[in-house]
Structure formats: structure tokens, C-alpha cells
Amino acid sequence: MTQRIFKSIITVSVTAVFFTIVIITLFLNRYFTGQVDEVLKSEALLISRAVEINGEQYLKSSEFAQVRVTWIDADGLVLYDSEAEEAQMENHSNREEFAEALKSGTGSSSRYSETLTQKTIYYARKLSDGTVIRVSKAYMSIWAQLAEMILPFIIIISAVLIFSGVFASKMAKRIVSPVNMIDLNNPDIDDSYPELSTLLQKIRGQNRKIARQMEQLRYSREQFGLITENMSEGIIIADTNTIVLSYNNAAMELLGAEPTEERQSIYALNRSEEFRFCIQNAIRGKHADCILKIGEKAYQVIANPSYTGVQLSGIVVFILDVTEKQQLEDMRREFTSNVSHELKTPLTSIYGISDMLANGIVKPEDVQKFGGDIRNEAGRMIILINDILSLSRLDENSVAEDDVNVDLYSMAQEIIGRLSYYAGERNITMNISGGSVPFRGRATILEGIIYNLCDNAIKYNRDGGSVSVTIGKNGNNAVITVEDTGIGIPAQHIDRIFERFYRVDKSHSRKIKGTGLGLSIVKHGVRYHNGTIQCESSPGEGTKFTVTMPVKAG
Ligand code: ADP
């Protein structure tokens, strides 16, 4: 604005000076022309009268400093000229002023010299004898006068420029400073130019409106923040150009992202194909969801389009941590497939043998053996189904019995007794040490724990080896250890042996009967009693399982 005012003042000043000079020059020129006309007329009259009386004598004896005098006869022949040799002058019969004077007594004309710098005015007067006296005077043409004015013009313009420059700068500042001083947040209408009052009033109105809207916005944001910040689910709101408008901390934590820029695209928060696909669908107005795998975690992303009327105004994205659900789902799938596989093997044998029996292919003396095989396979299936049932009861916490008081030592003794025949077949000695440890818990589960550990200690033992069971207490904990002198478990498998259906050496394990569920049942049983289980093993030397469970007051 300052610059505009400055430029305007300078332009107006320079233009005004320019036109003033041009107009004055024009006026002066007209004035001088008029003056010369008058001088020529009166000179011509005087000289004509003098020539009428004294003839050529007058002309020759006079000196004409101001004007040029020419005496021309009626045929245009120059009889006398005050500045040139008459004889050398051409015939003047075709000169405008001469012809006019011959016709009407007086005549005038003006002509530019070749260079246009001079203009000559002629005035002619006819004498009584028919000759003509012509008086002329040259003076500067308007162009020459203007050219003459150039230097003063430049000086004046420069002076005007300097003056108006200083003046314009001061003026511009003075005009603009009150405008600059206006506090747009709170414009004072009285202190400003009256011309601006309507505008300022409008600004005040707008300011009030903006303040109201900002307050509403702040309130909505606060509410949104309060609701979303305490959510464990992530929420992101983006516009139709995918620019993130709002989000909660959970969203950034779950995606492991950090919003860096002010206007960030939602795509920058996760570069995976699934996420992009989900967002793209929502922007096209379709509900979409997908599972994102980030590290060990699984997240469900639900993207919904959001409408204002019928117009798509943005998208709302929810992010839920479904790792556990996903793991359970995976486990369920794996479990079903394992169970089917484990059941299929004995069933196939049973089917094959019974098919042979039904078709009478089996010799009568072999019937007993095949019958024994069917019983063994059916037995395997019963063990497997019992293990599965035990596990599912533990999973669902639905063991159909109450806590009872048991003595872990007596329980272990009874189990060792049950297994001693089986151990004796392979010359494995079983011994128990420690003492009575009263414990309150679910008897079937506790039995399952000790039985499975002892059963494994025999199964994975070498012939002639030993199994040592100790039952004791450590502080308020009941401690059961089952140690064997068997094949041991390589370190890399120790973490996995508690998984369902996990068996260390599949080929070896085929010879050693088992379901792969025993240690799962043990782990769940221990956990059911709020305890922990530990496994230490040296391959080729033996394995030791230690179960620690807090003793509940009976
Ligand atoms: P299984 O029915 O195969 O015995 P478990 O769940 O009881 O299933 O055990 C899982 C695996 O852990 C076994 O297949 C075996 O490889 C290993 N294992 C368990 N106990 C012992 C042990 N005392 N000594 C050596 N390996 C063992």
C-alpha cells in the first residue's frame, strides 16, 4: 500500500509538471506568434507609406534590423531585399502572401525552414503602383522551443522527482501508519479512517464468529480427546485426500508410527499392501477390514467411509489388537489338524485289520494277534481322547470336581506303584524321597501332573536307568521334582516341549508311544494351581522337571 501511494504521488507530480510545461510552451508560442504578426503588420504599413512617398530611395537608405523587407513588382520580380542580392532571388509571383496581396491588398503566410527549427511569417502589402512590400520575420518554431525547454524540463522534473519522492514517502507513511496500527484482532473503529469503519466492523463481526467457532471446535476436540485417549483401540480420522485429521495415541502405538508432519497422509503410517488396500476401499465409499501383522503382533484394521449427507467427507479407521485372538485361532486350527492326524493313524490300522478279518483273509491262528492289534490301537485312541478331554477341561476351567486336601507324597507313591510294573519291564528303578506335603487342589489334575512326568521319565529313559521323585516344600510352596537318567532334551527344544502335539524327535518318538499332549496337560495343571514348571536337561544324561505350586490354606 505504501508503495502504491508513493508511486501514485510521483506519477501525478511528474505528469502534472510535464503537461504544465507543454501547455505553457504552447501558450507562449501562440502569444509570440500574435506579437510577431502585429509587429509585421505595423512595419509593413510604415514601410509601404515611406516607399509610396520616397520610392526606392527610402529602402536603400534605411537599415532594417528587426525584420526582412522585400519589394516585389507586380510580376513577382524582386526589386529590393534587405538581406539578399535582388538579382539572385527567384521570381516571387507564386508566393502565397504575394498573390494574396495582389488580389486583396494584403496577404500573409508562414513557412517552416527546412530543418523545422525556424518558422518565418510573411506579411505583404500592395502599393498604389501595383508593387508589393513584403515584411518577414523568422522566429523559433514550437518544436525548437520545446527542444530549448528540454534542459530546464529535465532540471524541473528532477527537482520535482526529488521533492515529490521525499514528500510521497512521508505522505504514504502517514496515510498507511494508522491502517498498520489497526489491531485486527480487536479493531478500534473510532481511531481509524471513517472510510474503513464498515470494513473494520465486518472484521469485528468475523472475529467474534471465529472465536465462537474456535471455542466450539476446542470443546469438541477436548471431548474427542477425552473419549479416544483412554481407548486401547486405535482410531484415525482422515479426509478424502487421506490427510490425517485426528488420531489417538493408541493408533500410533499400535502401528508403531510417529506422525512427523502437520498434514500427513495416512498411508505414511503403515506402508503395507493390506493397509493401503483397506484405506483405498474406504475412500471409494466401501467398508473394509484387514489383518496387519507387525512383528509378533496382529492388528485388525477396520476402515469405514464417513458421509456428510450423501457426500463422502472422510474415513474413520479403527485398529484393534487381535494378537491373542489370532494366536488362539491359529492354535485351534493347529490343534484340530493335529487331533485329526493323530486319530487317523490308529483308525486306519483298525479299519485295515477289521477289513481283513471281515473278508476272512486272516488265518484262524492269527485272529488273536490281530485282535490284540485292534485293542492296542483303540487303546491309543482312548488315551488320546482322554488327554484331549483333560486339556479342553483345563482350557475351559471346567474340571467337574471341587478342591480337596491331598498328600502329594502319598499321591506320588501310589502313581509310582501303578507304573512300577511298566518300569520293571525295562529294568528302570523308581524311587521316591521327601515327605508328606498336604496340598489343597483338584485331585485329578494333580494326579495328571505327577503321572505324566513319571510316565515320560520312564518312556524316555534308557533300559536299566532310574527315576527319582522328590516331594517337598520350599517356604510356602510345594515342590515336586521328577529326575531321570534318560535320553535328555536338546536345549533348543526345551521351550517347545510344553506345546500341544510337540514331540522332540518325531522318528524316535514313533517307537515311543505318546500323544504329544502330556506336558501340555502338566503345564496347564500347574498353571491351574498358580504354579510354575521348570525343565533342566542334558542330552544323553537325563532330564529333571521341577514343579513349584503355592500351598493353599486348607
Ligand atoms: P509325549 O506323549 O510325546 O510324551 P509330552 O507332551 O509328554 O508328549 O512330551 C513332549 C516331548 O517332550 C516328548 O515327545 C519328548 O520328546 C520330550 N520329553 C518329555 N519328557 C521327556 C523326558 N523325561 N526325557 C526326554 N524327553 C522328554
64-108 pLDDT, tens digit each: 877 899 999 989 999 999 888 888 888 988 899 999 999 999 999
The letter for the amino acid at 232 is S
Task: Name the CA dihedral angle for 382, 384, 387, 393, rounded to a multiple of 10 degrees.
Answer: -80
| pLDDT value of residue 397 | 73
pLDDT band per the 50, 70, 90 thresholds, residue 262: confident
| pLDDT value of residue 249 | 87
pLDDT band per the 50, 70, 90 thresholds, residue 189: low
The letter for the amino acid at 428 is I
Higher pLDDT, 514 or 543: 543
289-348 pLDDT, tens digit each: 999 988 889 999 999 999 988 899 999 999 999 998 888 888 888 888 888 888 888 899
CA distances (Å), 110 to each of 97, 124, 437, 503, in order?
9, 11, 148, 132
- In 67-184, at which residue ranges do the beta strands (DSSP E only) sit? 68-72, 78-81, 106-112, 118-126, 132-140
**516 CA to middle of ligand 1, Å?**
7
C-alpha angle 535-470-480 in degrees, rounded to nearest 5: 50
- Residue among 481, 497, 507, 543 to mutate when testing ligand 1 (max atoms within 8 A of CB): 497
Per-residue pLDDT at 186 exceeds 80 = no
pLDDT band per the 50, 70, 90 thresholds, residue 114: low
**111 CA to middle of ligand 1, Å?**
134
User: Domains plus CATH for the chain?
Assistant: 2-148 (3.30.450.20), 231-321 (3.30.450.20), 326-396 (1.10.287), 404-550 (3.30.565.10)
Percent of the chain residues past pLDDT 90, beyond the cut: 46
Ligand 1 pocket by C-beta < 6 Å: which residues? Answer: 452, 456-457, 460, 484, 486-489, 497, 502-504, 509, 514-520, 543
- In 309-353, at which residue ranges do the beta strands (DSSP E only) sit? 311-321
Are 454 and 478 in contact by the 8 Å Cβ rule? The answer is no
Neighbouring-strand partners of residue 134:
70, 124
**542 CA to middle of ligand 1, Å?**
12
**473 CA to middle of ligand 1, Å?**
26
Ligand 1 atom showing the smallest separation from residue 503 Cα: 14
For ligand 1, atom 21, the nearest C-alpha belongs to 456
145-156 pLDDT, tens digit each: 777 777 887 888
Count the Cβ atoms, other than its own, within 10 Å of residue 86. 13
Given its phi and psi angles, is residue 116 left (phi above 0), alpha (psi -120 to 50 degrees) or beta?
A: left
Ligand 1 atom showing the smallest separation from residue 486 Cα: 24
- Rounded to whole angstroms, the maximal C-alpha distance in the chain is 189
pLDDT band per the 50, 70, 90 thresholds, residue 506: low
- Residue among 387, 390, 503 to mutate when testing ligand 1 (max atoms within 8 A of CB): 503
Question: What pTM value is reported for the model?
Answer: 0.51
Higher pLDDT, 341 or 507: 341
Count the Cβ atoms, other than its own, within 10 Å of residue 506. 9
Neighbouring-strand partners of residue 367:
none
For ligand 1, atom 11, the nearest C-alpha belongs to 503
| pLDDT value of residue 116 | 61
For ligand 1, atom 14, the nearest C-alpha belongs to 503
CA distances (Å), 336 to each of 330, 333, 451, in order?
10, 5, 25
Matching residue, cell 533342566: 536
For ligand 1, atom 2, the nearest C-alpha belongs to 514
pLDDT band per the 50, 70, 90 thresholds, residue 213: very high
Give the C-alpha separation, 132 to 78, whole Å.
Answer: 9
Backbone angles phi and psi of 287, in degrees to 5: -70, 140
C-alpha angle 442-421-482 in degrees, rounded to nearest 5: 50
The letter for the amino acid at 370 is F
| pLDDT value of residue 508 | 57
Matching residue, cell 501511494: 5
**499 CA to middle of ligand 1, Å?**
11
Give the three-state DSSP class for 289. strand
